Structure 1
Amino acid sequence: YGLLAASILTGSCKKDLELRPTDTVEEDVAFSSVAALQKGLNTAYTRYGSSRSSTMFATSITSDETKFGPNNGGTGQFGYRLQYNADGTSGGDVVTPFFNYYVALDQINRVLGKIDDVPTSGATESTQRDYIKGQLLALRAMCHFELLQAYAKKYDPADPLGIPVVTTSCLTCQPPRNTVAEVMAQVEKDLNDGKALMPATTASFNNLELSQLAVTAYQARVAQYKGEWQKASDLATTVINSGIKPLVSGSAFTGIWTDDNTNETLFRSRFETNAAVGSNWTQTNGSIIFSPSDKLTASYSANDIRSTTYIGTNSAGRYVKKFSQSSRGGSIVDLKGIRTAELYLIRAEAKA
């Protein structure tokens, strides 16, 4: 009787111990199908968009592109005056992208860590899984590259102070900085490996997802950063000559910035109802937090379409117009990650 009772109690305890949590989802369950992998990728895209948005703001206020707007009550003051420290007390605007990118990288690496174990049903699912993996690898490259641009000195492959390369999910790890050369090697490997898993880009491609053409554009950007001018020119020419996203003018150009079209845009991050991009400069009620700098404003000629597209004027003064409005509301716009126009600039610089 005692042995029977003990076995019953032991079995009961074991059963209790094997209960899975009901308020969280374990990774083995979360990423157990191709559909679940797609959801994981969608989250990675969202986190990348947040990272890129915070980087745009940090680089704008610490450069000569903006100045305090008439309605600024202190937003971004430490970054603008270059009086920040590497903490949240005065450096929040500058250190936020660092945090955001590594949050995005953790999500990317979580999905990549499980993706090869996910079964597929037929050729269609197998192709979809490969494409998901390709996008994740390309996103990982972009996160590392943009971190390097923001938090390392001018490109020097011999510089030991790059940024930490993270290719696995580890919330408690504190990885040291990799060398600049090591960071770039990982960036280029992930771009190459990711691109190889993607289908050929057609005219009807979805620019909310990374494509072969978009990755080629990012490879041109990386080559330009490294000073590999012939490679940068060749890659830029490949994108330009594809004819898939040609340059536009007139209303076709102004419509890019109000999200009326996606002309020239090779990749964009969607902000459906979120004003995170536009409200950095102009809030949804029209308050001007940061204005275009006088230097930037003066750089456009009177008949330059970019002047009236990028810069507006209201009763309070000049404001950043290019992120100020879409049909979804004030300051709600998509983030344009890379456009064909940049490829022309890359090629021009490479040939200069």
Structure 2
Amino acid sequence: MKYLHNILFLAASIGMLSLTSCKKWLDVRPKTEVKESEQFSTEQGFKDALYGTYQKAADGQLYGENLTFGFLEVLSQGYESTTKIDHDFFYSATYQYNNAGVTSRINSIWNNMYSTIAQTNYILKNIDDRKSLFTGNNYSIIRGEALALRAFLHFDLLRLYAPSPKSDVTATAIPYMTAFTVTPQARLKVGEVIAACEKDLKEAEALLRVYPQMSNPSGNDDFLAFRSNRMNYWAVKAILARLYLYNNDRVHALAYAKDIINSNNFRFITSAELNAAAKDLNRTFTPEHIFAIYVAKLKDPVSSYFMMATGDKLYRKFTITEDRRKALFEVSTGGGTDLRFVSNSLWSASNGIIFPSKLWQIDENREELKKRIPVLTLSEMYYIAAESEPLTADGLKWLNKVRSARNIAELPAGIDATTLQNEIFKEYRKDFICEGQLFYYYKRINRNKIEGALNSNISNDQYVLPLPQQEIEFGK
């Protein structure tokens, strides 16, 4: 496996991460290479290694593009332009995974995910023997975040490279790497990977319970700041809610979703925040972020894909038409009041071409409102609760709370379960633009149609990304 080469590289170079100050940990850059014994000789060394893991996850090969607004959103058919034959992403949008460029992208995602997992395992390999180094609750926090990241990354690998449980829970899936090792690991079955993710997440939940706050009110420890950009206590619960629903365990999915909703740590965005002056404009709905990836140079790819400059070509852009936007938000049947539709901050029009501008990076914008891509959000927890309630009427209440917050009419009482499920689906399409989550929704319910796809029938041929050839050759 290419993963093995990544481990060897990490063993030699993980120590490159060092900080001069925690104040700007999100922008930390490699400085000097140090040995493992030196890297983990101080509490700060563990913090630096953890920061480096988040940086690696934020790379454009992973959540900084491919697994959010890039490749994954293209698979979701979130953009209309990508199905044009001359578009750079045409072969991705038509699920031609044997195309050389698409294969390269798929392999890069696999390799970089396992490389990032290796870094979490490198931290976990060293932390238990050095408990005495840690002050306060930092041992629990660092170990908890590393375990949560390991589970989160494996879960997304499962959702990409294996059938969904609804399709085949016994299918052979992916290796679950729990050690920093060069020994090839056997590929587990879908259900076994889910169980391994659950185990790591439950341990992380217990560890992170020591610090459930989403901020650091005293302001005297920068390590406890920016919690929405880290695998915080509530993020772990959110992943568990998502994991349980993926495995059709609605009882536990509902319980975890309600825990987050009832925590009062998160709230829905307001219309005023979406129509504020440039300084205070909140395009990504940060009050709803349970976990968001911080991408220091997000402005570069966003400008490339979602803005038009002199000399730019449309075959590189991510756009939709106004007709499709109106259909998506059901304008003809009353959806025209939806704040996600009417807010000028979320859309940009140029000669009839519509660019989603949710991720635009404007210099005047306050720093805490920039460089963030939502990964786990409050709205998803409401959708999970709505789908998981045993009674349709109770599920409708959760969905109507989101609709009310988005300034659209609540659905009437008395709708049946099928209608409720379809309305939840339509909300996923509206809410997760540029985030890539819609593809996972389609796959979870094993839907045979993806809206906007040129392919008339969707199956595991499209839902399951092919394993890299080296994994097939050298894996167990």
Shorter-chain TM band: 0.7 to 0.9
TM-superposed deviation, 1:190:
0.8
CA RMSD across the alignment: 2.9
Encode CA deviations 1:274-317: one digit per residue, 9 max, x unaligned: 33663573258485611137656522132211124543312361
TM-superposed deviation, 1:219:
0.9
Separation in 2, partners of 1:134, 1:276: 32
Separation in 1, partners of 2:199, 2:38: 29
Encode CA deviations 1:141-182: one digit per residue, 9 max, x unaligned: 100001111111121574232111111223x54434211122
Q: Pick from 39, 59, 64: which aligns with 1:30?
A: 39
Separation in 2, partners of 1:218, 1:149: 13
User: Quick check: 2:319–2:354 contact (8 Å CA) kept in 1?
Assistant: yes
Alignment of 1:45-84 (within 5 A): 45-50=54-59, 51-52=62-63, 53-56=65-68, 57-68=70-81, 74-84=87-97
User: Counterpart of 1:116 in 2: which secondary structure?
Assistant: helix
Encode CA deviations 1:222-253: one digit per residue, 9 max, x unaligned: 11111111211111111111111122321335
Give the 3 Å change call, closer, same or farther, for CA 112–126 of structure 1 in structure 2. Answer: farther
Encode CA deviations 1:120-145: one digit per residue, 9 max, x unaligned: 35xx6152122101000000010000
User: Quick check: 1:49–1:335 contact (8 Å CA) kept in 2?
Assistant: no
Separation in 2, partners of 1:249, 1:61: 28
Encode CA deviations 1:185-207: one digit per residue, 9 max, x unaligned: 11001111111111242353621
Give the 3 Å change call, closer, same or farther, for CA 77–94 of structure 1 in structure 2. Answer: farther
Unaligned runs of 5+ in 2: 1-31, 217-226, 330-334, 393-476
- What residue in structure 1 maps to residue 174 of structure 2? 163
User: Counterpart of 1:318 in 2: which secondary structure?
Assistant: strand
Give the 3 Å change call, closer, same or farther, for CA 292–176 of structure 1 in structure 2. Answer: farther
Separation in 1, partners of 2:364, 2:117: 29
- What residue in structure 2 maps to residue 207 of structure 1? 228
* Number of residue pairs matched by the alignment: 323
Q: Pick from 17, 34, 40: which aligns with 2:49?
A: 40
Give the 3 Å change call, closer, same or farther, for CA 297–25 of structure 1 in structure 2. Answer: farther
Separation in 1, partners of 2:154, 2:386: 26
Q: Pick from 283, 286, 300: which aligns with 1:258?
A: 283
Give the 3 Å change call, closer, same or farther, for CA 61–203 of structure 1 in structure 2. Answer: closer
Q: Pick from 259, 264, 270: which aligns with 2:294?
A: 270
Give the 3 Å change call, closer, same or farther, for CA 77–271 of structure 1 in structure 2. Answer: same
Query: Is 1:140 matched up with 2:176?
Result: no
Separation in 2, partners of 1:268, 1:162: 27
TM-superposed deviation, 1:339:
1.2
- What residue in structure 2 maps to residue 99 of structure 1? 111
Query: Is 1:320 matched up with 2:356?
Result: yes
TM-superposed deviation, 1:59:
2.0
Give the 3 Å change call, closer, same or farther, for CA 79–328 of structure 1 in structure 2. Answer: farther
Separation in 1, partners of 2:300, 2:53: 17
- What residue in structure 2 maps to residue 181 of structure 1? 191
Query: Is 1:290 matched up with 2:318?
Result: yes
- What residue in structure 1 maps to residue 244 of structure 2? 223
TM-superposed deviation, 1:343:
0.6
Give the 3 Å change call, closer, same or farther, for CA 230–103 of structure 1 in structure 2. Answer: same
Give the 3 Å change call, closer, same or farther, for CA 292–317 of structure 1 in structure 2. Answer: closer
User: Quick check: 1:72–1:290 contact (8 Å CA) kept in 2?
Assistant: no
Query: Is 1:236 matched up with 2:262?
Result: no
Task: Report the residue type matching 2:73 in the other structure.
Answer: S
Separation in 1, partners of 2:327, 2:357: 16
Larger Rg: 1
Task: Report the residue type matching 1:299 in the other structure.
Answer: L
User: Counterpart of 2:354 in 1: which secondary structure?
Assistant: strand
Separation in 2, partners of 1:234, 1:316: 45
- What residue in structure 2 maps to residue 16 of structure 1? none
Separation in 1, partners of 2:152, 2:214: 24
User: Quick check: 2:165–2:247 contact (8 Å CA) kept in 1?
Assistant: yes
- The TM-score normalised by the length of structure 2 is 0.61
Separation in 1, partners of 2:307, 2:83: 12
Give the 3 Å change call, closer, same or farther, for CA 117–326 of structure 1 in structure 2. Answer: farther
Separation in 1, partners of 2:326, 2:113: 31
Separation in 1, partners of 2:346, 2:42: 44
Task: Report the residue type matching 2:151 in the other structure.
Answer: A
Separation in 1, partners of 2:197, 2:355: 36
- The TM-score normalised by the length of structure 1 is 0.81
Higher deviation after alignment, 61-70 or 334-343: 61-70
User: Counterpart of 1:325 in 2: which secondary structure?
Assistant: coil
User: Quick check: 2:348–2:357 contact (8 Å CA) kept in 1?
Assistant: yes
Unaligned runs of 5+ in 1: 1-22
User: Quick check: 1:30–1:36 contact (8 Å CA) kept in 2?
Assistant: yes
User: Quick check: 2:169–2:190 contact (8 Å CA) kept in 1?
Assistant: yes
Give the 3 Å change call, closer, same or farther, for CA 339–256 of structure 1 in structure 2. Answer: farther
